[in-house]
Structure 1
Amino acid sequence: MTALANNTSKRRLLLASDRSDQSNELASILRSVGEVDTVLTSEIPEQPARDLSGIVVDINLRSPEAVQLVRAKLQADAYREMPRLFVLADALHHASMQAWALGATDTISRPFDARGILQRIRAAFPDDSGYDETDRGKALNRGVEAAHGVMVKIFERMRAGEPLKYDDIVAAENKILKAIKHNSLREWLTTVGCHHQETYRHCLFVTGFAVAFAQHLGMREDDQRRLARAALLHDVGKAFIPVALLDKPGPLTVEEMAEMREHPRRGYEALSAQGGFPPEMLDVILHHHEFLDGTGYPNGLSGNQISDIVRVTTIVDVYAALVEKRAYRLQFTHAKAFSMMEEMAGKLDQQLLQAFRPVAFGHY
């Protein structure tokens, strides 16, 4: 844990657990970002310390007694506005929904990847004193936290039945644009690359590449914002795909692939029903897997039926997928990934692809 302790800040966290024998590892990780007070859930104080940044709850979410005890404790006014991070023993929907019902502001899951969850902890428990001394570093941290917050709303809260709001996306976009403008795409990718959830990581990679591409092309700021929003939301339909399928550590069967290919339509239908999302965002959500030769899905669009914003998103989506490490294969090199996309001449807009070359090769 020595390498992780360099950024220790002034956060003070309360770790409440009914499984103290299993919480030692978590306590050690938390100490990398602040001071930690550990108590049994039955001993959660009615009045928390004034300098407490937030509470981490590590309980058996299948236990009605434990859930009721924590609910009673956290209903007190002193805890009402306090950030609360819950630990999930697994990725089952029941545990996730139970955590959100108890007012979770974020969740983490076992087994822990220390480096991967440090960003989650910092995002869940902001530190007013600042854990990065440079303005550039702060901009990067705020941007990643904002993007991650959108991922939580999509892949955890939507699953639990909470609707996604357009304002949630707008609130994040400015921080994301600043993060990539004032830092570098490489720094963005390095920061989000340690994320332990593959679906989150992919969406954040796509967002980073999309914003960097938009800035490289000199797009107007309004168009940069439109592309950032679309990239963040492009895979929203995966919130309606079973977690076990999303996280499967191997290639999908024909049946599983057919179900996975439903995600564009499911995302489109969900946000269309909610209303308030611009047509170009819905266009990207529904059509980002369409190809110019008509071999894509779900509608088999071709040529001029595919809009410019979809063409851009498809390029960064494919490239991000190729250069990411997946559970069933290693990532391709940047040169190999770009070469593979050049071989997709009839499927991808090759003029846009060549314009993307400096972004693809300039970040590492």
Structure 2
Amino acid sequence: MSAQPNKIPTKRRLLLASDRSDQSSELASILQAVGQVDTISTSAIPESPSRDLSGIVVDINLRSAESVQLVRNKLRADAYREMPRLFVLADALHHGSMQAWALGATDTIARPFDAQGILQRIRAAFPDTESYDETDRGKALNRGVEAAHGVLVRIFNRLPAGEPLKFSDIVEAENKIIKAIKHSSLREWLTTVGCHHTDTYRHCLFVTGFAVAFAQHLGMREDDQRRLVRAALLHDVGKAFIPVEILDKPDPLTLEEMEVMRQHPRRGFDALTAQGGFPPEMLDVILHHHELLDGTGYPDGLSGKEISDIVRLTTIVDIYAALVEKRAYRLQFTHAKAFAMMEEMGDKLDQHLLHAFRPVAFGHY
């Protein structure tokens, strides 16, 4: 029996949806190095993808309302929710990135194409379907949670005792955390860490999970994802210096206790600044994650453009995580109620970012 000449001996099968006149031929030829590529028009995206599909690559004109609507209608289906969705950006314009995020991109690549860079992104974004099984998923999840927990132990047990926290400790953990959420799911991460007996640890792990999932949903570059993981994991480092009787109090805090608690951003910032070696954006998040755009936050009362993008993003996931977590003195809010409460905060939060966060908030349960 003769071999099938057109069959590609590969383990990945990718769907390339294109509205370009050349059917994205350059991109298709690059993708064929790592998988079988089925190129279709955007109007032909199936309502439900076949089970052997590793992921979808979308190459459309993000300024075309017609193309965007076609893709939105198809990819909003539950069948695509857990599938990697990589979008092609024509340039680095903010508009294109925002459109891709709003359409549910889990990663992005940009023209002009860098073949090696694209292949690395594809291998990371679309797991090898023949060798990556549920056992691997579980192992990746456990390794990620264990790594994050190890950082928190260093923060809350060792830092107050005078043992320095090293930036290398965070870098070592971030790879495992990103892989855990990319290769399992945010839902599995939250289910696992939600069982933690310590409220403070659980909150930091929730915030980290939401931050990673949000970064991946927004199609952030890997370096930016890493920066956000580090910042989210360490955002409450100052709570290591708050008395345990306040930190773990099972009842609402008094005004005096709340004033002590509100010192944690400054205390964390001062501790890591004194140690040195931590990037400015991490210190920015640690100090300012309770600032609000209308100037009513703390500790510095920043407003508007004084608050950086990474702080705005961390603030959103921090507040959302706090609302949906179980607390000893109140039941957790439903996802819908928590999100509605944040929408009602109006100009205190970046509502554009909050809108982009909606699919993450509602897509994991």
- Pairwise TM-score range, normalised by the shorter structure: 0.5 to 0.7
- Equivalent in the alignment of 2:342: 341
Q: Which runs of 4+ in 1 moved over 2 A?
A: none
Q: Which residue of 1 aligns with 2:22?
A: none
How many angstroms apart in 2 are the aligned matches of 1:240 and 1:135? 38
CA distance in 2, matches of 1:236, 1:327: 22
Cα RMSD after superposing both structures: 0.9
**Is it true that 1:164 corresponds to 2:165 in the alignment?**
yes
Which residue of the partner structure matches residue 253 of structure 2? 252
What is the correspondence of 1:213-232 to structure 2 with a 5 Å cutoff? 213-232=214-233
Query: Displacement of 1:347 after TM fit?
Result: 0.4
CA distance in structure 2 between the partners assigned to 1:327 and 1:137 by the alignment:
29
Q: Following TM superposition, by how much is the alpha carbon of 1:346 offset from its aligned partner in structure 2, in angstroms? A: 1.3
Q: Deviations over 1:45-87 (max 9, x none)?
A: xxxxxxxxxxxxxxxxxxxxxxxxxxxxxxxxxxxxxxxxxxx
The residue type equivalent to 1:172 in the other structure is A
Report the Cα offset of residue 286 of structure 1.
Answer: 0.1
Map of 1:171-320 to 2, 5 A cutoff? 171-320=172-321
- 1:235 to partner: Cα distance: 0.1
How big is each residue's C-alpha offset from its partner over 1:245-272, in whole Å with a ceiling of 9 and x where there is no partner? 0010111111100000000000000000
Gaps of 5+ in 2: 1-132
Task: Show CA shifts across 1:260-305 (max 9, x none).
Answer: 0000000000000000000000000000000000000000000000
User: Match for 2:203: what amino acid?
Assistant: H
What CA deviation, in whole Å up to 9, does each residue of 1:163-218 have, x standing for no partner? 10000000000000000000000000000000000000000000000000000000
Structure 2 Cα separation of the partners of residues 163 and 288 of structure 1 = 22
Offset, 1:317: 0.0
What amino acid does structure 2 have at the position aligned with 1:329?
R
Residues of 1 paired with 2:162 and 2:247: CA distance? 19
The SS at the match of 2:295 is coil
Deviation at 1:133, TM superposition (A): 7.3
Counterpart-to-counterpart distance in 2, 1:219 and 1:345: 25
Q: How many residues are aligned here? A: 233
Partners of 1:171 and 1:345 in 2: how far apart?
A: 38
Q: Distance in 2 between matches of 1:348 and 1:183?
A: 30
Q: Secondary structure at the match of 1:346?
A: helix
| Equivalent runs, 1:73-152 vs 2, <5 Å | 134-152=135-153
Q: Secondary structure at the match of 2:294?
A: coil
> Which amino acid letter does the alignment assign opposite residue 288 of structure 1?
H
Q: CA deviation at 1:353?
A: 0.1
Mapped partners of 1:325, 1:133: distance in 2? 29
Residue 326 in structure 1 maps to residue 331 in structure 2: no
CA distance in 1, matches of 2:324, 2:278: 30
Deviation string 1:218-240 (CA, Å, 9 cap, x unpaired) is 00000000000000000000000
Q: Distance in 1 between matches of 2:290 and 2:271?
A: 18
How far did residue 161 of structure 1 move?
1.5
SS of the counterpart of 2:137? helix
Counterpart secondary structure, 1:283: helix
TM-score normalised over the length of structure 1: 0.63
Length-normalised TM-score, structure 2 = 0.63
The residue type equivalent to 2:259 in the other structure is: A
What CA distance in whole angstroms lies between the structure 2 residues aligned with 1:258 and 1:285?
17
Separation in 2, partners of 1:200, 1:206? 10
In 1: Cα distance, 2:246 partner to 2:167 partner: 27
Question: SS of the residue aligned with 1:134?
Answer: helix
Aligned mates of 1:174, 1:237 — CA distance in 2: 24
Aligned counterparts of 2:185 and 2:246: Cα–Cα separation in 1: 33
Q: Residues 100-131 of structure 1, C-alpha deviation per residue, up to 9 Å, x if partnerless?
A: xxxxxxxxxxxxxxxxxxxxxxxxxxxxxxxx
Task: Give me the whole-angstrom Cα distance separating, in 2, the residues matched to 1:153 and 1:341.
Answer: 32
Q: Give % identity.
A: 85
State how far apart, in whole Å, the 2-side matches of 1:243 and 1:251 are. Answer: 14
1:291 alignment partner, SS class? coil
Any idea what SS the aligned residue of 1:360 has? helix
Structure 1: tracts of 5 or more residues without a match: 1-131
Counterpart code for 1:213: F
Spell out the pairing of 1:38-77 with structure 2 (5 A cutoff). Answer: none
Structure-2 separation of matches of 1:171 and 1:233:
14
Question: What is the CA-CA distance between 1:327 and the residue it aligns to?
Answer: 1.2
Question: Does the residue aligned with 2:346 lie in a helix, a strand or coil?
Answer: coil
Between the aligned partners of 2:160 and 2:199, the Cα distance in structure 1 is 17
C-alpha separation between the residues in 2 aligned to 1:319 and 1:291? 14
> How far, CA to CA, are the matches of 1:187 and 1:162 in structure 2?
32
Deviation of 1:354 (Å): 0.3
